[in-house]
Amino acid sequence: MASDWCELHVHIEGTLEPAMIFDRARANGIELADPDEASLALRYEFRDLQSFLDLYYENMRVLRTEADFYELTAAYLRRAATAGVGHVELFVDPQAHSARGVPAGTVLRGVHRALDTVGAEAGVTGGIIACVVRDQPVASADAMLDDVLGSGVPILGLGLDSAEVGYPPSLFARTFERARDAGLHVVAHAGEEGGPDYVWEALDVLGAERIDHGIRSLEDPALVRRLGSEQIPLTVCPLSNVRLRAVPSIEEHPLPKMLDLGLKVTINSDDPAYFGGYLDDNLEALRDAFGFDPDVFRTLAANSVAASFISGAPARA
């Protein structure tokens, strides 16, 4: 497959495969709750976003050193290259690591070094988007932004992730204003489990240039008109939506409707080690469910390039 896809919504911690969890736990002397991979695998059944996040944060405890983050990112880049990804804008959750005593600089240096070296070997360019963990206090988000900006590692943008409902984007208005003033791009998860009001706030209060997920935008016709007329990119993650029960099945995913409405949608894997696959697996699931012809995939690939921050221009005017 040609490397003509940009992956714009993938959490590096969500690429932590079970084999690497056991490997890193052994290397770092960390005791796991499960005796083996088969036992751990039984826990990859999710009711909703929170039930996934509980396991996601538990598993990432095995990541402690710069080398761990380097190896994690290297493995993702090699796999993404086989999926046709030529460019990635990688989400990282520094607060999830600093809370365990792993400094933001350690995390970012490992990810950045892999993007630089393994990315070049694998033919994948990339950048880092540091995400605010929205169910942690606002002061923690501000401290994270200070740490990230002070790390000396080049950063593409600031994002917003973790438990959505009850944590509206407006809580972090000032943090995102500071990020924009520092020249960072701005994106936000909204409309995954939260309603259209979260998407409006992400756009109007945070100045988000892309919306991550955004599938619940369809409930609000005025929002659909806004997203369409401004061609604001939505980074949609079909297998994630099914596994977290945001949609009942892949066949009932609103992606075809979003395309019909003229929305600028892109396809992404979100947390591929947890949701049944990488970008190519998501594309295959869509092909099987909807029988899309090659033109649709060409549009989706072109959308991903247009929505990326590669050009240096904002994704949204």
Query: What are the residue numbers of the active site?
Result: 192
Q: Sheet containing 265-267: give its strands across.
A: 5-11, 85-92, 125-133, 157-161, 185-190, 210-213, 234-236, 265-267
Q: Side chain identity at 223, as an amino acid letter?
A: L
Give the shortest CB-11-to-ligand HPA separation in angstroms: 4
Site size toward ligand HPA, by CB under 6 A: 11
Closest by CA position to 215, among listed 166, 159, 267, 170: 267
Closest to ligand HPA by CB, 66 or 161: 161
Binding mask 245-274 for Zn ion (x = CB under 5 A): -------------------------x----
Q: Side chain identity at 238, as an amino acid letter?
A: P
Closest to ligand HPA by CB, 79 or 122: 79
Q: Which does 192 bind (CB under 5 to 8 A by kind): Zn ion, ligand HPA, none?
A: ligand HPA
Residue nearest to ligand HPA (CB): 161
Give the shortest CB-194-to-Zn ion separation in angstroms: 13
Return d(Cα 211, Cα 187) in angstroms, integer. 6
Question: What are 265's strand-pairing partners?
Answer: 234
Give the DSSP H or E segment for 211: strand 210-213
User: b or e along 165-200 (b: 16 or more beta carbons within 10 Å of the residue's beta carbon)?
Assistant: eebbbebbeebbebbeeeebbbbbbbbbbbbbbbbb
Q: Which does 268 bind (CB under 5 to 8 A by kind): Zn ion, ligand HPA, none?
A: none
Say if residues 154 and 45 touch (Cβ distance below 8 Å).
no
Decide: is 280 part of the binding site for Zn ion (CB under 5 A): no
SS3 130: strand
Give the shortest CB-28-to-ligand HPA separation in angstroms: 22
Contacts of 130 (CB under 8 A, 6+ apart): 92, 94, 104, 108, 144, 145, 148, 155, 157, 158, 159
Give the shortest CB-260-to-ligand HPA separation in angstroms: 25
* Residues 167-226 interacting with ligand HPA (rule: CB under 6 A): 189, 192
Residue nearest to Zn ion (CB): 270
Decide: is 253 part of the binding site for ligand HPA (CB under 6 A): no
Q: Which of 5, 12, 14, 214 binds ligand HPA (CB under 6 A)?
A: 14
Say if residues 190 and 163 touch (Cβ distance below 8 Å).
no
Give the shortest CB-161-to-ligand HPA separation in angstroms: 4
Binding mask 260-299 for ligand HPA (x = CB under 6 A): ----------xx----------------------------
SS3 297: helix
Site of interaction with ligand HPA (CB under 6 A): 11, 14, 49, 56, 161-162, 189, 192, 240, 270-271
Site of interaction with Zn ion (CB under 5 A): 270
